[in-house]
Amino acid sequence: MSSQLITTDLVALDANFGDSIESVITNLATLVHDTGRATSVEELAGPAIEREAKAGTGVPGGVAIPHCRSAAVSEPTLAFARLSRGVDFSGPDGDAYLVFLIAAPEGGGKAHLKILSKLARALVKKDFLEALRTAQTKEEIVSLVLDVVNAEKPKKKAAASESAPAAAAAAPAPSKAADSQKTRIVAVTACPTGIAHTYMAADALTQTAEERHDVELTVETQGSSNNTAVSADTIAAADAVIFATDVGVRDRERFAGKPVVESGVKRAINEPGVMLDEAIAASKNPNAHKVAGTAGAASSSSVEEGEGLGWGKRIQQAIMTGVSYMVPFVAAGGLLLALGFLFGGYDMANGWQAITSDYSLTNLPGHDVMVDGEMMTFKKAGFALYIGAVLFAIGQASMGFIVAALSGYIAFALAGRPGIAPGFAGGAIAVTLGAGFIGGLVTGLIAGFVAMWIGKWKVPRWIGSLMPVVIIPLLATMVTGLLMYLLLGAPLAAIMEGLQNWLSSMSGSSAVLLGIILGLMMCSDLGGPVNKAAYLFATAGLSTGDEASMKIMAAVMASGMVPPIALSIATFVRKNLFTPAEQENGKSAWLLGLSFVSEGAIPFAAADPLRVIPSMMLGGAVTGALSMSLDVMSRAPHGGIFVIFAIEPAWAYFVAILAGVIVSASAVIAMKQFWPNKAAEEAAAKADKAKAAA
């Protein structure tokens, strides 16, 4: 490293940095910028604030550790503030008074992450925190931090290693005869960035275990600076496993058959003793949940990661997984259909099968084509008509998979790989019986739960290897198919037919009301479950090709484009109402909006939900209502303004979006003007002061 990780210029003691996360991070980013270690306050603060919106970085002891990688950062840097007014970083102890901003260069390698992880580990030590609270000078703070990050690897008790992987991998597995009174536990910790929470969770568990006499703990950190896996012998000797992760467990099948306790990474930081107690109890319970493997429901690392969640949450996550895997089929298929219309003309849809089967590049069609024994005249001819029909055929093939993909990956989310085959088969049966996407949802859940249940059967070892590849798919597919054909298919098909008839009959006020509802849903959580539910409703119906479904698709896409565009415009019109980080986000949010990426508005909504979300919902409702009332139709499921060729009438689509943008932008400006955002004002004033000083 070219200089110290932290200097006195990067420390603020008993500072008033405002009463919001945004203002605190912006002030810390200003310290980094003023020392010449960052090229822009906004480009550093923005990613840290966005990271905070995903999951608060507050930890026990009234501490927060916002962190990010940024291209604006020139070298690994720590900025520290001891606040005179605490700020809520979603920590378990309430407001945070000790805040570290960990600023890492983008693409700067892993060496600095090892240093940063040492700091994260020190933050679970009470004496270190007390020293930070009572330090009288900035020099004391710098000395305390550098002593921690420059310290050699501490000596460890035999019960646990320093987040243990390196030592555990090299050391032989402990002998159970050595201490029969101790429960041997292996833990895995991981957070999305792999910088801080991963190591804090590891050391919270380790330190708690060292204070006890009934536990021998080994921890594997699946973070950015140390990914050495615990040895197979250590896992084999373990009595139970703890998974404290927010991103799943890599190579989860290594732990197959072990009793397991699962949670998010922050619970291990906040309640390490409780998790250890739960693991001890699981090790003594013959009916405790165990990690699935080749003898169970599945062997992939994604299997049953939600076993610790409630059934409602698990079903929601499974459906969202199905939707996320389905979207590529929808996007590819829908855009190919749109391209087919662009090249071959809209009337080509009436004869694409005959065109693709009877003609080729060396035998191009004319305007008149024989379709099902009748001569049809198309507006286009030759290569344009033929390539349009081919693109349309490819798109139809992709769209034909959407219900099966939805069903298959819902089942996959519940039961792992053995659930895929019965899920896909169930989805195909749903299409055959006319049950559509509703049938796909049902078959996905049935296949997943049946496969999961069969996977928990206790079977002889000789048959265990056949379970995930033969027996589970066979039985789950049979059960799902029989239920659909014998019991559920006809009722679900009737529901789907009734829904399609209702959509097709919509006109006037009923269509407008549906547009309002869809607009509100698209803008309520900006990419979350409600937004995805509206999108699923639209895309699943798009495969039918009827006008009502295309109107719904247009209303959904137009409404979803409104928030990022509106917020971008608002930051330009009334810049002083937004924080510097929001102003920076506003520079690119308009492009995300034009591309139908609603998530471009998330940083604004996370920073100021009470003002932003209602304003966006208002504009979304206006756009949805106008789109439906003007009979706008979209043959493309994604792409925003860039698939305008697949939208008609285009002028009405623009009018609906423009109206919603104006309403949302005006509403959010009014909300921030008449209900002032103190955090934004303080951050803007601080940034202006910094620029003036520079």
Superfamily the domain 6-148 falls into: Mannitol-specific EII; Chain A (3.40.930.10)
pLDDT at 606: 66
> Does residue 308 or residue 365 have the better pLDDT?
365
CA 387 to CA 395: how far, in whole Å?
Answer: 12
Q: What is the DSSP string of 531-591?
A: HHHHHHHHHHHHTT--HHHHHHHHHHHHHHHHHHHHHHHHHHHSGGGS-HHHHHHHHHHHH
Q: What is the pLDDT of residue 449?
A: 92
pLDDT (0 to 100) of residue 164: 40
Residue range 96-135, pLDDT digits in tens: 899 999 888 876 545 455 666 677 767 777 788 889 999 9
φ, ψ (nearest 5 deg) of residue 641: -70, -20
CA 53 to CA 208: how far, in whole Å? 29
The pLDDT assigned to 438 comes to 80
Mean pLDDT confidence for 68-83: 87
Average the pLDDT over 551-562 and give the result: 91
Look at 90 and 300; give whichever has higher pLDDT: 90
Other Cβ atoms within 10 Å of 618 Cβ, number: 21
Active-site positions read 67, 191
Span 25-45, average pLDDT: 90
Give the residue-averaged pLDDT of 549-577.
89
What value does the mean pLDDT of the chain take?
79
| CATH code of the region 181-287 | 3.40.50.2300
Among 95-104, 263-272, 451-460, 609-618, whose mean pLDDT is lowest? 263-272
User: Any idea which of 276-290, 327-341, 350-364, 618-632 has the lowest mean pLDDT?
Assistant: 327-341
Reported as a pLDDT band with limits 50, 70 and 90, residue 505 is: low
Cβ–Cβ under 8 Å, residues 404 and 424: yes
Confirm if 341 and 358 have CB atoms less than 8 A apart.
Answer: no
Q: Which comes out higher in pLDDT, residue 426 or 350?
A: 426
Per-residue confidence band for 29, with pLDDT thresholds at 50, 70 and 90: very high
Q: Is the pLDDT of residue 261 over 70?
A: yes
Q: What percent of the chain has pLDDT over 90?
A: 23
Residue 265 pLDDT: 76
Location of each CATH 3.40.50.2300 domain in the chain: 181-287
pLDDT digits (tens, 9 = 90+) for 354-374: 899 999 999 999 888 888 888
Which helix (H) or strand (E) segment holds residue 664: the answer is helix 650-674
The bridge status of strand 67-70 relative to strand 94-105 is parallel
Q: pLDDT tens, 159-206?
A: 333 334 333 333 444 444 445 578 999 999 876 555 567 777 887 788
Q: Where in the chain is the domain with CATH 3.40.930.10?
A: 6-148
Q: Of 516, 507, 625, 615, which Cα lies nearest the Cα of 566?
A: 615
pLDDT at residue 604 is higher than 90: no
Provide the whole-model pTM: 0.49
State yes or no: cis peptide before 649, omega within 30 of 0: yes
Q: Is 361 exposed, middle or buried (0-12, 13-18, 19+ CB in 10 A)?
A: exposed
pLDDT attached to residue 1: 42
Q: What is the pLDDT of residue 496?
A: 74
Contacts 24+ apart (CB under 8 A), 549-553: 549/500, 549/503, 550/633, 550/634, 550/635, 551/506, 551/511, 551/627, 551/628, 551/631, 551/632, 551/633, 552/503, 552/514, 552/518, 553/633, 553/634, 553/635, 553/636, 553/637
Q: Give pLDDT, residue 108.
A: 53
Residue 409 has pLDDT above 70, yes or no: yes
pLDDT at residue number 117: 64
* DSSP β-bridge partners for residue 104: 69
Beta-carbon count within 10 A of 155 CB: 6
Torsion 31-32-36-42 (CA) sign: negative
